[in-house]
Chains A and B, each alone.
Chain A
């Protein structure tokens, strides 16, 4: 089946530093990828929609200058958390759509656990 990878799977960084998370579709092209965030004991919340070759669309309450998204190719989207703070510690998951059997199926990456100290 379709596979989406994320790197790194886990990162610990100091407050004030920036962290880049990569999301790759391994065997298909994805013009659209989604970035979600999940805090402990909470649901996944959509942060932004990443569009290949154009600007990302951010959900209300998500700072676009803090969470930089770049979707430079059909298989790669990156999320950079700039000037990370402890409250940014979370589980970040990306996903991509694939048209399969006449319907769209969404495939998730394994997630990146970010801890900001």
Chain B
């Protein structure tokens, strides 16, 4: 079983749509959770951290459910520029990151 599992997609949505990605992790000792965005052939870039209380950054909302070991990302009012691969990432404190395989999003005009 993979440590971090994501639906690979692709998710093809029209501009303006709301789309949600989910992720599950197997290591109950995981302490920190993130969503990264990776554009084709580029390095991953931090999109947002994920907290148990949930957090929102503009059109993006992230939620963490520690009991179910489940993380989500909601994107509202999708833009063409949101097209990318979204990586669910977990880590135990100050250690290397464990990446999910990513969910590909394609926003269409």
List residues of A whose CB falls within 8 A of some B CB: 32, 34, 36, 42-46, 49, 91, 93, 95, 97, 103-106, 108-111, 113
Contact = CB atoms under 8 A, between A and B. Distances in A.
A110 B101 contact: no
Contacts of A45: 99
Contacts of A104: 93-94
28 contacts: A32-B94, A34-B97, A36-B96, A43-B87, A43-B100, A43-B101, A43-B102, A44-B44, A44-B87, A44-B97, A44-B99, A45-B99, A46-B96, A91-B41, A93-B44, A95-B97, A97-B94, A103-B32, A104-B93, A105-B46, A106-B46, A106-B97, A108-B44, A108-B45, A109-B43, A110-B42, A111-B43, A113-B41
B90 to A, nearest CB: 12
A102 to B, nearest CB: 12
What does DSSP make chain B's interface, helix, strand, loop or mixed?
Answer: loop
Contacts of A46: 96-98
Given A97-B94, A104-B94, A43 B99 contact: yes
B40 to A, nearest CB: 11
Which of A45, A97, A104, A108 has the largest number of chain B CB atoms within 10 A?
A108
A42 B101 contact: yes
Contacts, number: 42
Interface of B: 4, 32, 41-46, 87, 91, 93-94, 96-102
What does DSSP make chain A's interface, helix, strand, loop or mixed?
Answer: strand
A43 B8 CA distance: 11
Contacts of B46: 105-106
A95 B102 CA distance: 19
B64 to A, nearest CB: 15
B97 A93 contact: no
Contact of A49 (B41, B42, B96, B98): B96
A97 B91 CA distance: 12
A19 B100 CA distance: 28
